[in-house]
Amino acid sequence: MKKILLVDDEPNLLAALQRALRKQFPIETACGGAAGLAALQNWQEYAVVVADMQMPEMNGVEFLAKVKQSAPDIVRMMLTGNADQNTAIQAINEGSIFRFLNKPCAPEKLADALSAGIRQHELITVERDLLENTLRGCIKVLTEILAMADPKAFGHAETVRNNVRQMAETLQLTDTWELEIAAMLSYIGLVSIPPETLLKARHGLPLAHREQEMFRRIPAIGGDLLAQIPRMENVSKILTYQSKCFDGTGYPEDQVAGEAIPLGARMLKILCDLAELEGSGKGRTSALEQLRTRTGWYDPQLLELIAPTGQTAMLKKADAAKTHANVTFAELRTGHVLKADVETKDGTLIIVAGNRITPALLARLRNFAAISGIKEPIHVEC
């Protein structure tokens, strides 16, 4: 069982409560708000914190507000002899407390409240774990759908994600999971494009107005897909604005421009266009020169962060340390990372280099192998 922390400026009261409750709960105490915050540095060990309102230097409302900010999963309660309405309202609004208890509080009443707090904590953590697992599963399914539906686009997405990581590191961004998910799903809207229309576009053939409108709406389709998934609101907005030019032109047609465009969308606008140019055979230097001719399209500060050469020295060194092998299709296993495209014997592209083989991709390959055969050997990273 996780611990309960009692915070008060009266040592005798803390000692009395600990004696009364220690047989039912793992109780720890802290004398004052500062000591309470110090104890909560290892906040994963605690389920409930109970704080007195009237404490010197830091009152209960201030203390619980700080707990809410640093450890939102901990259930917060207030114990006070000052039961006026304004205190209760302030505590609820700023500290989001679960229970408001009046002093003196009988040990039996406090024990009931602590039991309810522990149950609430369990509900919070179970719900969060379920949500995170569901989220990871949804993202995995979407990326595998893209990999199977359009292997070339998925290969570009892998490249974009690697470049997003490098740019985020240069910008000293620490929490990058939303940026990486947005990069991996930056092409997900392509699944709405009919295959013949996609093929026309990739061969540079003229598109009808209706077909052009399909491509224009790709960011909106990706954003709408992600908007249905909890905690993906920011990623949805990044995808919606990923084609928006820095000067405000492009889709969506609104007044958002410059740094008002989400940072992730400004990054994707550059890196997706770069991936498309490099995927068409242009070198990094030539691709960057072309990007710089597109006046008003890109955030100039972000554009200057892209190195003119391909991989960084660190990435090259890491790649050189990995083990590569040529395997037959029968030897291909989940977890292998492709170092070269996989094609059928008649030259149809199935999966592009950079993909990690998953059960779904392996099943896709088996289907192609049964019909058309697979070119061997397959170059993989072990």
The β-bridge relationship of strands 324-327 and 378-381 is antiparallel
Q: Is 245 left (phi over 0), alpha (psi -120 to 50) or beta?
A: beta
CB contact at 8 A, 14 and 29: yes
**b (16+ CB within 10 A) / e for 129-158:** eeeeeebeebbeebbbebbbbbbbbbbbbb
Judged by DSSP in three states, 366 sits in helix
Burial of 68: CB neighbours in 10 Å, binned 0-12, 13-18, 19+: middle
Euclidean distance between CA atoms 44 and 213, whole angstroms: 50
What does the pLDDT average to over 239-249? Answer: 95
- Categorize the per-residue pLDDT at 310 as very low, low, confident or very high, splitting at 50, 70 and 90: very low
Q: How far apart are alpha carbons 101 and 171 in whole angstroms?
A: 47
Residues forming CATH 3.40.50.2300 domain(s) in the chain: 3-126
What is the distance between the alpha carbons of residues 47 and 123, in angstroms, rounded to a whole number?
A: 11
Number of residues assigned to the chain = 382
Q: Residue 167 — pLDDT band, cuts 50, 70, 90?
A: very high
Nearest in space to 66 (alpha carbons), one of 102, 41, 44: 41
Give the Cα separation of 114 and 23 in Å (integer).
Answer: 13
Mean pLDDT of the chain: 85
Q: For domain 3-126, say whether CATH 3.40.50.2300 is its number.
A: yes
Q: What confidence tier does 200 reach under pLDDT thresholds 50, 70, 90? A: confident
* 89-115: pLDDT as tens digits: 666 666 578 888 888 888 899 999 999
The answer to whether 257 and 232 have CB atoms below 8 angstroms apart is no
Name the segment(s) of the chain with CATH classification 1.10.3210.10. Answer: 150-314
**Gyration radius of the chain's alpha carbons:** 28
CA distance to 93, 143, 223, 260, 370, per residue, from 108 (Å): 27, 53, 52, 54, 70
CATH 3.90.105 maps onto the chain at 322-382
Amino acid at 371: I
The domain 150-314 is placed in CATH, from the list 3.40.50.300, 1.10.3210.10, 2.30.30.90, 3.10.150.10, at 1.10.3210.10
Q: What are 117-141's pLDDT values in tens digits?
A: 999 998 888 877 776 677 777 777 7
Q: Which CATH number fits domain 322-382: 3.90.105, 1.10.3470, 3.10.590, 3.30.70?
A: 3.90.105
